[in-house]
Protein backbone atom coordinates (compact mmCIF):
# COMPACT_ATOMS: atom_id res chain seq x y z
CA UNK A 1 0.00 0.00 0.00
CA UNK A 2 2.82 2.38 0.87
CA UNK A 3 4.50 1.67 -2.41
CA UNK A 4 1.30 2.50 -4.23
CA UNK A 5 1.09 5.90 -2.52
CA UNK A 6 4.68 6.60 -3.40
CA UNK A 7 4.09 5.82 -7.04
CA UNK A 8 1.03 8.11 -7.22
CA UNK A 9 2.78 11.01 -5.47
CA UNK A 10 5.73 10.69 -7.81
CA UNK A 11 3.45 10.78 -10.86
CA UNK A 12 1.65 13.83 -9.52
CA UNK A 13 4.92 15.63 -8.99
CA UNK A 14 6.05 14.72 -12.49
CA UNK A 15 2.76 16.01 -13.93
CA UNK A 16 3.16 19.32 -12.14
CA UNK A 17 6.68 19.67 -13.43
CA UNK A 18 5.46 19.04 -16.99
CA UNK A 19 2.70 21.63 -16.60
CA UNK A 20 5.16 24.15 -15.22
CA UNK A 21 7.56 23.49 -18.08
CA UNK A 22 4.82 23.95 -20.66
CA UNK A 23 3.78 27.29 -19.16
CA UNK A 24 7.41 28.37 -19.05
CA UNK A 25 7.89 27.54 -22.68
CA UNK A 26 4.67 29.34 -23.66
CA UNK A 27 5.60 32.44 -21.66
CA UNK A 28 9.08 32.48 -23.14
CA UNK A 29 7.71 32.10 -26.65
CA UNK A 30 5.16 34.87 -26.05
CA UNK A 31 7.87 37.17 -24.74
CA UNK A 32 10.08 36.41 -27.71
CA UNK A 33 7.20 37.08 -30.11
CA UNK A 34 6.44 40.38 -28.35
CA UNK A 35 10.05 41.51 -28.57
CA UNK A 36 10.14 40.52 -32.24
CA UNK A 37 6.84 42.27 -32.90
CA UNK A 38 7.98 45.41 -31.11
CA UNK A 39 11.10 45.43 -33.26
CA UNK A 40 9.01 45.23 -36.42
CA UNK A 41 6.56 47.86 -35.12
CA UNK A 42 9.32 50.33 -34.43
CA UNK A 43 10.04 50.27 -38.13
CA UNK A 44 6.41 50.41 -39.34
CA UNK A 45 3.85 52.46 -37.40
CA UNK A 46 3.50 56.06 -38.57
CA UNK A 47 1.45 59.19 -37.93
CA UNK A 48 1.14 61.45 -40.96
CA UNK A 49 4.01 59.55 -42.53
CA UNK A 50 6.28 60.13 -39.51
CA UNK A 51 7.71 57.01 -37.77
CA UNK A 52 6.54 56.95 -34.15
CA UNK A 53 6.81 53.35 -32.92
CA UNK A 54 8.57 52.96 -29.59
CA UNK A 55 8.36 56.71 -28.87
CA UNK A 56 6.80 58.29 -25.83
CA UNK A 57 4.01 60.84 -26.23
CA UNK A 58 6.31 63.85 -25.84
CA UNK A 59 8.73 62.37 -28.34
CA UNK A 60 5.91 61.75 -30.81
CA UNK A 61 4.69 65.32 -30.44
CA UNK A 62 8.18 66.73 -31.02
CA UNK A 63 8.69 64.59 -34.13
CA UNK A 64 5.34 65.64 -35.58
CA UNK A 65 5.96 69.34 -34.93
CA UNK A 66 9.29 69.15 -36.71
CA UNK A 67 7.73 67.43 -39.74
CA UNK A 68 4.82 69.90 -39.87
CA UNK A 69 7.15 72.91 -39.70
CA UNK A 70 9.15 71.63 -42.65
CA UNK A 71 6.03 70.75 -44.65
CA UNK A 72 4.44 74.18 -44.03
CA UNK A 73 7.24 76.04 -45.81
CA UNK A 74 5.31 75.85 -49.12
CA UNK A 75 1.75 76.99 -49.95
CA UNK A 76 -0.97 74.51 -50.84
CA UNK A 77 -2.06 74.83 -54.49
CA UNK A 78 -5.49 73.56 -55.53
CA UNK A 79 -6.11 73.32 -59.28
CA UNK A 80 -8.99 72.25 -61.48
CA UNK A 81 -11.08 73.41 -64.43
CA UNK A 82 -8.65 76.17 -65.33
CA UNK A 83 -8.87 77.63 -61.81
CA UNK A 84 -6.21 77.78 -59.11
CA UNK A 85 -6.36 78.53 -55.40
CA UNK A 86 -3.45 79.00 -53.00
CA UNK A 87 -3.98 78.06 -49.35
CA UNK A 88 -1.71 79.36 -46.60
CA UNK A 89 -0.52 76.41 -44.46
CA UNK A 90 -0.97 78.66 -41.43
CA UNK A 91 -4.73 78.23 -41.92
CA UNK A 92 -4.32 74.51 -41.13
CA UNK A 93 -4.83 73.69 -37.45
CA UNK A 94 -3.16 70.38 -36.47
CA UNK A 95 -4.46 68.82 -33.23
CA UNK A 96 -1.51 66.77 -31.95
CA UNK A 97 -3.07 65.82 -28.62
CA UNK A 98 -6.10 64.31 -30.33
CA UNK A 99 -3.79 62.59 -32.82
CA UNK A 100 -1.72 60.89 -30.10
CA UNK A 101 -4.87 59.75 -28.32
CA UNK A 102 -6.12 58.16 -31.53
CA UNK A 103 -2.75 56.49 -32.00
CA UNK A 104 -2.70 54.98 -28.52
CA UNK A 105 -6.24 53.79 -28.94
CA UNK A 106 -5.47 52.14 -32.27
CA UNK A 107 -2.56 50.11 -30.88
CA UNK A 108 -4.16 49.27 -27.52
CA UNK A 109 -4.35 45.52 -26.69
CA UNK A 110 -6.70 44.05 -24.04
CA UNK A 111 -4.99 42.06 -21.27
CA UNK A 112 -6.82 38.88 -22.22
CA UNK A 113 -5.19 39.00 -25.67
CA UNK A 114 -1.71 38.90 -24.22
CA UNK A 115 -0.56 36.42 -26.87
CA UNK A 116 -1.25 38.90 -29.71
CA UNK A 117 1.42 41.25 -30.93
CA UNK A 118 0.82 45.02 -31.12
CA UNK A 119 -0.56 46.28 -34.44
CA UNK A 120 1.38 48.26 -37.01
CA UNK A 121 -0.75 51.31 -37.85
CA UNK A 122 -0.57 54.27 -40.24
CA UNK A 123 -2.90 57.04 -39.16
CA UNK A 124 -3.30 60.69 -40.26
CA UNK A 125 -2.64 63.77 -38.18
CA UNK A 126 -5.90 65.07 -36.81
CA UNK A 127 -6.93 68.43 -38.33
CA UNK A 128 -9.53 70.74 -36.82
CA UNK A 129 -12.38 71.74 -39.11
CA UNK A 130 -11.54 74.97 -40.99
CA UNK A 131 -14.43 77.11 -42.26
CA UNK A 132 -11.85 79.56 -43.64
CA UNK A 133 -10.46 77.03 -46.10
CA UNK A 134 -13.92 75.75 -46.98
CA UNK A 135 -15.11 79.28 -47.74
CA UNK A 136 -12.12 79.94 -49.98
CA UNK A 137 -12.90 76.80 -51.94
CA UNK A 138 -16.59 77.70 -52.20
CA UNK A 139 -15.75 80.94 -54.03
CA UNK A 140 -14.80 78.87 -57.09
CA UNK A 141 -18.26 77.75 -58.10
CA UNK A 142 -17.15 75.13 -60.62
CA UNK A 143 -15.60 73.10 -57.78
CA UNK A 144 -17.50 70.71 -55.55
CA UNK A 145 -16.82 72.39 -52.21
CA UNK A 146 -17.25 69.43 -49.86
CA UNK A 147 -15.39 66.93 -51.99
CA UNK A 148 -12.52 69.32 -52.72
CA UNK A 149 -12.29 70.26 -49.03
CA UNK A 150 -12.11 66.59 -48.04
CA UNK A 151 -9.35 66.05 -50.59
CA UNK A 152 -7.37 68.85 -49.01
CA UNK A 153 -7.80 67.39 -45.52
CA UNK A 154 -6.77 63.94 -46.69
CA UNK A 155 -3.59 65.14 -48.41
CA UNK A 156 -2.61 67.53 -45.64
CA UNK A 157 -3.25 65.07 -42.79
CA UNK A 158 -0.58 62.78 -44.24
CA UNK A 159 1.74 65.71 -45.12
CA UNK A 160 1.59 64.71 -48.77
CA UNK A 161 2.10 66.75 -51.94
CA UNK A 162 1.33 70.49 -51.85
CA UNK A 163 -0.51 70.34 -55.21
CA UNK A 164 -4.05 69.02 -54.95
CA UNK A 165 -6.58 68.35 -57.72
CA UNK A 166 -9.97 69.92 -57.09
CA UNK A 167 -13.19 68.09 -57.85
CA UNK A 168 -14.63 69.96 -60.83
CA UNK A 169 -18.38 70.02 -61.33
CA UNK A 170 -19.39 68.55 -64.67
CA UNK A 171 -19.19 71.47 -67.14
CA UNK A 172 -22.19 70.06 -68.98
CA UNK A 173 -24.26 71.63 -66.23
CA UNK A 174 -23.02 75.02 -67.40
CA UNK A 175 -24.29 74.38 -70.92
CA UNK A 176 -27.97 74.49 -70.03
CA UNK A 177 -28.40 77.94 -71.59
CA UNK A 178 -26.47 79.49 -74.46
CA UNK A 179 -26.21 83.18 -73.65
CA UNK A 180 -24.33 84.40 -76.73
CA UNK A 181 -23.09 83.20 -80.12
CA UNK A 182 -20.70 84.82 -82.60
CA UNK A 183 -19.61 83.26 -85.90
CA UNK A 184 -17.24 85.20 -88.17
CA UNK A 185 -15.21 84.23 -91.22
CA UNK A 186 -11.49 84.36 -90.50
CA UNK A 187 -9.84 87.16 -92.55
CA UNK A 188 -7.39 85.99 -95.22
CA UNK A 189 -4.52 87.95 -93.65
CA UNK A 190 -5.11 86.61 -90.10
CA UNK A 191 -2.86 83.80 -88.86
CA UNK A 192 -2.75 81.76 -85.66
CA UNK A 193 -6.49 82.00 -84.98
CA UNK A 194 -6.92 78.26 -84.41
CA UNK A 195 -4.11 78.14 -81.83
CA UNK A 196 -5.59 81.05 -79.89
CA UNK A 197 -9.09 79.57 -80.03
CA UNK A 198 -7.87 76.25 -78.64
CA UNK A 199 -6.34 78.04 -75.66
CA UNK A 200 -9.47 80.11 -74.95
CA UNK A 201 -11.86 77.18 -75.35
CA UNK A 202 -13.56 75.86 -72.20
CA UNK A 203 -12.54 78.84 -70.07
CA UNK A 204 -14.84 79.40 -67.11
CA UNK A 205 -15.63 82.99 -66.14
CA UNK A 206 -16.18 82.99 -62.41
CA UNK A 207 -18.38 85.69 -60.82
CA UNK A 208 -16.44 88.80 -59.78
CA UNK A 209 -13.17 87.39 -61.13
CA UNK A 210 -11.52 89.66 -63.76
CA UNK A 211 -10.50 87.98 -67.01
CA UNK A 212 -7.52 89.19 -69.06
CA UNK A 213 -7.20 88.04 -72.66
CA UNK A 214 -3.43 88.54 -72.67
CA UNK A 215 -3.04 86.54 -69.47
CA UNK A 216 -5.23 83.76 -70.84
CA UNK A 217 -3.13 83.55 -73.99
CA UNK A 218 0.13 83.56 -72.01
CA UNK A 219 3.04 83.43 -74.49
CA UNK A 220 0.89 82.28 -77.41
CA UNK A 221 0.61 85.81 -78.79
CA UNK A 222 3.73 85.01 -80.83
CA UNK A 223 1.78 82.24 -82.58
CA UNK A 224 -0.50 84.76 -84.32
CA UNK A 225 0.02 87.97 -86.26
CA UNK A 226 -1.59 91.30 -85.36
CA UNK A 227 -4.60 90.66 -87.58
CA UNK A 228 -5.19 87.27 -85.96
CA UNK A 229 -4.91 88.67 -82.43
CA UNK A 230 -7.27 91.55 -83.12
CA UNK A 231 -9.75 89.31 -84.91
CA UNK A 232 -9.93 86.86 -81.99
CA UNK A 233 -10.15 89.71 -79.48
CA UNK A 234 -13.00 91.30 -81.46
CA UNK A 235 -15.01 88.08 -81.68
CA UNK A 236 -14.57 87.46 -77.93
CA UNK A 237 -15.51 91.09 -77.24
CA UNK A 238 -18.71 90.80 -79.28
CA UNK A 239 -19.60 87.59 -77.45
CA UNK A 240 -19.10 88.78 -73.87
CA UNK A 241 -21.00 91.99 -74.62
CA UNK A 242 -24.11 89.82 -74.84
CA UNK A 243 -23.70 88.52 -71.29
CA UNK A 244 -24.02 90.18 -67.89
CA UNK A 245 -20.35 91.09 -68.08
CA UNK A 246 -18.68 94.43 -67.42
CA UNK A 247 -15.90 95.58 -69.75
CA UNK A 248 -12.85 96.69 -67.76
CA UNK A 249 -10.48 97.48 -70.63
CA UNK A 250 -10.99 97.64 -74.38
CA UNK A 251 -9.20 99.53 -77.14
CA UNK A 252 -10.78 100.19 -80.57
CA UNK A 253 -9.04 99.56 -83.84
CA UNK A 254 -8.09 102.69 -85.78
CA UNK A 255 -10.14 101.65 -88.78
CA UNK A 256 -13.38 99.71 -88.84
CA UNK A 257 -12.42 96.13 -89.89
CA UNK A 258 -14.27 94.10 -92.50
CA UNK A 259 -15.83 91.85 -89.84
CA UNK A 260 -18.51 92.60 -87.25
CA UNK A 261 -20.11 96.04 -86.91
CA UNK A 262 -18.19 99.29 -86.51
CA UNK A 263 -17.61 99.87 -82.81
CA UNK A 264 -17.73 96.12 -82.09
CA UNK A 265 -14.03 95.41 -82.35
CA UNK A 266 -11.01 95.27 -80.08
CA UNK A 267 -7.31 95.97 -80.42
CA UNK A 268 -4.70 94.22 -78.31
CA UNK A 269 -0.96 94.74 -78.28
CA UNK A 270 1.19 92.45 -76.11
CA UNK A 271 4.10 94.89 -76.31
CA UNK A 272 2.09 98.04 -75.64
CA UNK A 273 0.11 96.21 -72.95
CA UNK A 274 -3.19 97.04 -74.63
CA UNK A 275 -5.49 94.33 -73.33
CA UNK A 276 -9.10 93.17 -73.38
CA UNK A 277 -10.35 92.67 -69.84
CA UNK A 278 -13.82 92.01 -68.47
CA UNK A 279 -15.53 90.58 -65.39
CA UNK A 280 -18.60 88.41 -64.88
CA UNK A 281 -20.97 90.43 -62.66
CA UNK A 282 -23.72 87.80 -62.57
CA UNK A 283 -24.25 85.33 -59.75
CA UNK A 284 -23.40 82.31 -61.91
CA UNK A 285 -20.29 81.21 -63.80
CA UNK A 286 -20.11 81.47 -67.59
CA UNK A 287 -18.50 78.89 -69.85
CA UNK A 288 -16.64 80.43 -72.80
CA UNK A 289 -16.11 78.25 -75.85
CA UNK A 290 -14.03 79.10 -78.92
CA UNK A 291 -13.66 76.77 -81.90
CA UNK A 292 -12.64 77.01 -85.55
CA UNK A 293 -14.95 75.31 -88.00
CA UNK A 294 -14.82 75.58 -91.79
CA UNK A 295 -12.66 78.70 -91.88
CA UNK A 296 -14.87 80.43 -89.29
CA UNK A 297 -14.29 81.31 -85.65
CA UNK A 298 -17.22 80.43 -83.40
CA UNK A 299 -17.40 81.86 -79.89
CA UNK A 300 -20.15 80.85 -77.45
CA UNK A 301 -21.11 81.84 -73.93
CA UNK A 302 -23.03 79.37 -71.75
CA UNK A 303 -24.53 79.42 -68.27
CA UNK A 304 -26.50 77.04 -66.08
CA UNK A 305 -29.32 79.60 -65.95
CA UNK A 306 -30.65 82.18 -68.39
CA UNK A 307 -30.07 85.14 -66.09
CA UNK A 308 -30.20 88.68 -67.44
CA UNK A 309 -31.32 89.55 -70.97
CA UNK A 310 -28.86 91.79 -72.79
CA UNK A 311 -29.48 93.76 -75.99
CA UNK A 312 -26.57 95.51 -77.71
CA UNK A 313 -27.40 98.63 -79.76
CA UNK A 314 -24.98 100.26 -82.23
CA UNK A 315 -25.69 103.86 -83.32
CA UNK A 316 -23.70 105.17 -86.32
CA UNK A 317 -23.38 108.82 -87.33
CA UNK A 318 -21.76 109.25 -90.77
CA UNK A 319 -19.10 111.88 -91.35
CA UNK A 320 -18.71 113.05 -94.96
CA UNK A 321 -15.19 113.38 -96.30
CA UNK A 322 -13.79 116.79 -97.28
CA UNK A 323 -12.91 117.61 -100.87
CA UNK A 324 -9.41 119.00 -101.12
CA UNK A 325 -8.58 120.83 -104.37
CA UNK A 326 -4.98 121.19 -105.32
CA UNK A 327 -3.62 123.17 -108.26
CA UNK A 328 -0.71 122.62 -110.59
CA UNK A 329 0.57 124.21 -113.80
CA UNK A 330 1.44 120.75 -115.14
CA UNK A 331 -2.18 120.03 -116.08
CA UNK A 332 -3.79 121.54 -119.20
CA UNK A 333 -6.54 124.09 -118.70
CA UNK A 334 -9.89 122.54 -117.74
CA UNK A 335 -8.45 119.16 -116.76
CA UNK A 336 -8.37 117.48 -113.32
CA UNK A 337 -6.76 114.41 -111.80
CA UNK A 338 -8.09 112.36 -108.87
CA UNK A 339 -5.27 111.79 -106.41
CA UNK A 340 -7.25 110.12 -103.63
CA UNK A 341 -10.82 108.90 -103.48
CA UNK A 342 -12.80 109.95 -100.44
CA UNK A 343 -14.26 107.58 -97.89
CA UNK A 344 -16.97 108.25 -95.37
CA UNK A 345 -16.08 108.23 -91.68
CA UNK A 346 -18.36 107.80 -88.70
CA UNK A 347 -18.96 108.23 -85.02
CA UNK A 348 -20.18 105.04 -83.33
CA UNK A 349 -21.88 104.75 -79.94
CA UNK A 350 -22.43 101.30 -78.43
CA UNK A 351 -24.97 100.89 -75.64
CA UNK A 352 -26.47 97.90 -73.83
CA UNK A 353 -29.93 97.42 -72.37
CA UNK A 354 -29.86 94.88 -69.54
CA UNK A 355 -33.06 93.40 -68.10
CA UNK A 356 -32.68 91.38 -64.90
CA UNK A 357 -35.43 90.37 -62.48
CA UNK A 358 -37.79 93.03 -63.81
CA UNK A 359 -35.19 95.79 -63.57
CA UNK A 360 -33.80 97.52 -66.65
CA UNK A 361 -30.69 99.61 -67.05
CA UNK A 362 -28.90 101.20 -69.98
CA UNK A 363 -25.11 101.19 -70.20
CA UNK A 364 -23.03 103.22 -72.59
CA UNK A 365 -20.19 100.91 -73.53
CA UNK A 366 -18.05 102.96 -75.91
CA UNK A 367 -17.78 105.89 -78.28
CA UNK A 368 -15.56 105.28 -81.27
CA UNK A 369 -14.51 107.63 -84.05
CA UNK A 370 -13.37 106.54 -87.49
CA UNK A 371 -11.90 109.43 -89.44
CA UNK A 372 -13.06 109.96 -93.02
CA UNK A 373 -10.63 109.76 -95.92
CA UNK A 374 -10.60 113.07 -97.78
CA UNK A 375 -11.13 113.24 -101.52
CA UNK A 376 -8.12 114.96 -103.12
CA UNK A 377 -8.41 116.43 -106.63
CA UNK A 378 -5.60 118.00 -108.61
CA UNK A 379 -6.76 120.87 -110.86
CA UNK A 380 -5.12 122.95 -113.55
CA UNK A 381 -3.71 126.21 -112.24
CA UNK A 382 -4.31 127.75 -115.66
CA UNK A 383 -7.99 128.05 -114.76
CA UNK A 384 -7.20 130.43 -111.90
CA UNK A 385 -5.67 133.87 -112.38
CA UNK A 386 -3.26 133.91 -109.47
CA UNK A 387 -2.02 137.36 -110.43
CA UNK A 388 -5.48 138.92 -110.55
CA UNK A 389 -7.52 140.52 -107.86
CA UNK A 390 -9.46 138.75 -105.19
CA UNK A 391 -8.54 135.83 -103.01
CA UNK A 392 -7.64 132.39 -104.23
CA UNK A 393 -10.84 131.17 -102.61
CA UNK A 394 -12.89 133.58 -104.66
CA UNK A 395 -10.98 132.83 -107.86
CA UNK A 396 -11.31 129.07 -107.31
CA UNK A 397 -15.03 129.35 -106.82
CA UNK A 398 -15.41 131.52 -109.90
CA UNK A 399 -13.50 128.89 -111.86
CA UNK A 400 -16.00 126.25 -110.72
CA UNK A 401 -13.71 124.28 -108.35
CA UNK A 402 -15.64 124.88 -105.13
CA UNK A 403 -13.54 125.27 -101.99
CA UNK A 404 -9.87 125.95 -102.74
CA UNK A 405 -7.79 124.12 -100.14
CA UNK A 406 -4.27 123.81 -101.49
CA UNK A 407 -2.18 125.18 -104.31
CA UNK A 408 0.75 123.40 -105.94
CA UNK A 409 2.73 125.92 -107.97
CA UNK A 410 6.01 124.04 -108.31
CA UNK A 411 4.39 120.99 -109.91
CA UNK A 412 5.44 118.39 -107.32
CA UNK A 413 1.86 117.40 -106.53
CA UNK A 414 2.15 118.64 -102.94
CA UNK A 415 0.34 121.68 -101.54
CA UNK A 416 2.36 124.90 -101.51
CA UNK A 417 -0.38 127.21 -100.32
CA UNK A 418 -3.32 126.91 -98.01
CA UNK A 419 -6.03 129.50 -98.59
CA UNK A 420 -6.76 129.63 -94.86
CA UNK A 421 -3.52 131.51 -94.20
CA UNK A 422 -4.48 134.82 -95.70
CA UNK A 423 -6.28 134.38 -98.97
CA UNK A 424 -4.08 136.84 -100.93
CA UNK A 425 -1.35 135.61 -103.26
CA UNK A 426 1.60 137.64 -104.39
CA UNK A 427 3.23 137.27 -107.77
CA UNK A 428 4.49 133.66 -107.96
CA UNK A 429 7.77 134.91 -109.38
CA UNK A 430 8.37 137.09 -106.34
CA UNK A 431 6.99 134.54 -103.94
CA UNK A 432 7.50 131.07 -105.50
CA UNK A 433 6.14 129.24 -102.49
CA UNK A 434 2.93 131.23 -102.33
CA UNK A 435 3.51 132.58 -98.83
CA UNK A 436 1.57 135.82 -98.30
CA UNK A 437 3.72 138.96 -98.17
CA UNK A 438 6.81 136.83 -98.69
CA UNK A 439 6.98 135.90 -95.01
CA UNK A 440 8.06 132.45 -93.81
CA UNK A 441 5.20 129.98 -93.81
CA UNK A 442 3.83 129.10 -90.39
CA UNK A 443 3.10 125.38 -90.61
CA UNK A 444 1.17 125.29 -87.36
CA UNK A 445 -1.32 127.91 -88.57
CA UNK A 446 -1.98 126.21 -91.91
CA UNK A 447 -3.21 122.88 -90.62
CA UNK A 448 -6.57 121.44 -89.66
CA UNK A 449 -7.35 118.07 -88.17
CA UNK A 450 -10.04 115.94 -86.58
CA UNK A 451 -9.93 115.47 -82.84
CA UNK A 452 -10.83 112.16 -81.13
CA UNK A 453 -14.47 113.19 -81.08
CA UNK A 454 -14.49 113.70 -84.82
CA UNK A 455 -14.63 117.51 -84.65
CA UNK A 456 -12.76 119.59 -87.21
CA UNK A 457 -10.18 121.80 -85.53
CA UNK A 458 -8.42 124.59 -87.46
CA UNK A 459 -5.37 126.14 -85.91
Task: Supply the pLDDT for residue 347.
Answer: 94
Quick one: pLDDT band at residue 419, thresholds 50, 70, 90?
very low
The tally of CA atoms less than 13 A away on the side-chain side of residue 227 is 10
Residue 14 has pLDDT above 70, yes or no: no
Residue 275 has pLDDT above 70, yes or no: yes
Domain boundaries, the chain: 47-165, 175-307, 321-343+370-446
Per-residue pLDDT tens digits for 111-124: 666 666 667 889 89
Quick one: pLDDT band at residue 188, thresholds 50, 70, 90?
very high
Spatial distance between the Cα atoms of 430 and 15, rounded to a whole number of angstroms: 152
Spatial distance between the Cα atoms of 404 and 423, rounded to a whole number of angstroms: 10
Does 234 or 28 have the greater pLDDT score?
234
User: What distance lies between CA 14 and its chain's CA centroid?
Assistant: 91
Per-residue pLDDT tens digits for 128-182: 888 888 888 887 877 888 889 999 999 999 998 889 988 887 666 677 789 999 9
Spatial distance between the Cα atoms of 422 and 401, rounded to a whole number of angstroms: 19
Cβ atoms of 318 and 295 within 8 Å: the answer is no
Task: Supply the pLDDT for residue 24.
Answer: 55
Spatial distance between the Cα atoms of 287 and 239, rounded to a whole number of angstroms: 12
Cβ atoms of 191 and 232 within 8 Å: the answer is no
Quick one: pLDDT band at residue 20, thresholds 50, 70, 90?
low
Q: Of the ranges 212-216, 283-287, 403-407, which one carries the lowest mean pLDDT score?
A: 403-407
Quick one: pLDDT band at residue 411, thresholds 50, 70, 90?
very low
Quick one: pLDDT band at residue 329, thresholds 50, 70, 90?
confident
Quick one: pLDDT band at residue 236, thresholds 50, 70, 90?
very high
Across 449-458, average pLDDT: 50
Task: Supply the pLDDT for residue 81.
Answer: 72
Quick one: pLDDT band at residue 189, thresholds 50, 70, 90?
very high
Q: Of the ranges 219-228, 246-255, 360-369, which one carries the lowest mean pLDDT score?
A: 219-228
Amino acid sequence: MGNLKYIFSRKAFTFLLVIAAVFGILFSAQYSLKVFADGKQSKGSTIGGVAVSGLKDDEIKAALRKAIQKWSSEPILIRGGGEELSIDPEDIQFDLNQTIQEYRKSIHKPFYQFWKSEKTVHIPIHISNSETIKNQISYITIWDTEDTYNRVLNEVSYLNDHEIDATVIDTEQLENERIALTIEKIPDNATGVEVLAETLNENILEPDEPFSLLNALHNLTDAANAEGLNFVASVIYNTVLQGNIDILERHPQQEAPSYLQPGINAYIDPFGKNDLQFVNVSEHPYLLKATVEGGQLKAELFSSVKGATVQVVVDKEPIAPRIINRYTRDLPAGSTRLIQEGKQGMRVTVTRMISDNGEQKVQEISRDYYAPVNRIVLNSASDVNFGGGGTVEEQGKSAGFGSVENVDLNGDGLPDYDSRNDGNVQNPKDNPKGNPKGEPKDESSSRSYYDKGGNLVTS
